[in-house]
Amino acid sequence: MSDYDSGNVFAKMLRGEITPDIIYQDEYVFAFHDAYPKAKVHVLIIPKGAYKNITQFGERASDAELIAMLRAVPKVAEMVGIKEGGYRTLINCDKDGGQEVPHLHLHLLGGEFVKLDLG
């Protein structure tokens, strides 16, 4: 995709140039521990496709890719032990949304009460 920066760190993971702490993957998504956790449990779920943000993903992804992202949430939550206690999900988008890595990622935060810091 022309407006996708393939030099971003998550693209490097998907190409196998960086090895993340992988929790789960299937045909469409990939989940790993955040390197700088903001809660006791902090996991990122990303699509394997080249989508820079939720806008591109919502507009361009196939139904199968869209479904896989949401289906992965409870699976991964269970795998990291936070399904029972609950969790927050967060997707930042672009500059005003505070997105730092330009490959769509869904934050899954839990393992304790997760304060919402919108700063």
How far is residue 87's CA from residue 109's CA, in Å, rounded to a whole number? 5
Whether 40 and 110 have beta carbons less than 8 Å apart is answered as yes
Question: 33, 42, 103, 105: which one is catalytic?
Answer: 105
Q: Which is nearer to ligand AMP, 74 or 98 (CB)?
A: 98
Q: Which is nearer to ligand AMP, 62 or 98 (CB)?
A: 98
Please confirm, yes or no, whether 107 is among the known catalytic residues. Answer: no
DSSP letter, residue 83:
T
Q: Which residues bind ligand AMP (CB under 6 A)?
A: 9, 20, 34-36, 92, 98-101
Whether 5 and 104 have beta carbons less than 8 Å apart is answered as no
CB 35, min distance to ligand AMP, A:
3
Tokens 């407006």 correspond to 3
CB 103, min distance to ligand AMP, A:
9
Active site residues: 105
